[in-house]
């Protein structure tokens, strides 16, 4: 007589070529939580005009967006960051690793992400070492920010597969 399992663990997916991964809703939701939402443009911690969920491209002080417009800007920006990651990451990733890297790169910029020690470690196959680089990115304008420390620790845990975004 076969034995039935009463509990099942969801298996971790295999790593996939980075070009086949996409920015998923869970990643966008995580970024929304980290960034917060502002309908009116403001100067961020380093003086860059910002709006919505952290959009900076083309933003001018006095500008306003609806919640729906902010979500569209987030999707556009996160997709651009995801595309930047695909240009510099040469190893396969789990979706959760990609999500963590998209969240980080969304905040620091695709260029900074691609030039980082994190990417060097990642492309050398040091996945754990790459994830453990995330907490180094806690400075803005030369100052360590507590909010970034919290975000980076969450991103690190997501990257390691300990929590999902």
pLDDT at residue number 4:
38
Among candidate residues 9, 39, 40, 44, the one labeled active-site is 44
pLDDT at residue number 12:
55
pLDDT at residue number 163:
84
d(CA 142, CA 160): 27
What b/e string do you get for 44-69 counting C-beta neighbours within 10 Å, with b at 16 or more? Answer: beeeebbbbbbbeeebeeeeebeeee
Please choose, from the candidates 89, 74, 80, 90, the residue with its C-alpha nearest in 3D space to the C-alpha of residue 35: 74
Alpha helices in 89-126 (DSSP H): 95-108, 110-114, 117-123
pLDDT at residue number 7:
36
Establish how many alpha carbons lie within 13 A of residue 86's alpha carbon, considering only the half-sphere containing its beta carbon: 15
pLDDT at residue number 1:
41
Provide the residue-wise pLDDT of the chain in tens; the chain has 165 residues: 444 333 333 345 689 999 999 999 999 999 999 999 999 999 998 999 999 999 999 999 999 999 999 999 999 999 999 999 999 999 999 999 999 999 999 999 999 999 999 999 999 999 999 999 999 999 998 999 999 999 999 999 999 999 876
Among candidate residues 35, 99, 133, 155, the one labeled active-site is 35
Give yes or no: 35 in active site. yes
DSSP reduced 3-state for 67: helix
């Amino acid at each position: 007589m076969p034995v039935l399992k009463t509990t099942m663990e969801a298996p971790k997916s295999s790593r996939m070529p980075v070009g086949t991964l996409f920015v998923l809703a869970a990643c966008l939701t995580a970024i929304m939580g980290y960034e917060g939402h502002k309908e009116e443009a403001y100067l961020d911690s380093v003086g860059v005009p910002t709006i919505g969920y952290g959009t900076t491209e083309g933003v001018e002080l006095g500008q306003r967006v609806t919640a729906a417009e902010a979500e569209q800007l987030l999707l556009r920006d996160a997709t651009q960051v995801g595309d930047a990651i695909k240009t510099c990451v040469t190893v396969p990733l789990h979706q959760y690793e990609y999500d963590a890297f998209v969240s980080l790169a969304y905040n620091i910029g695709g260029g900074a992400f691609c030039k980082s020690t994190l990417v060097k470690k990642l492309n050398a196959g040091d996945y754990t070492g790459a994830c453990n680089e995330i907490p180094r990115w806690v400075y803005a304008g030369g100052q360590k920010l507590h909010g970034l420390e919290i975000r980076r620790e969450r991103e690190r845990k997501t990257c390691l597969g300990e929590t999902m975004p």
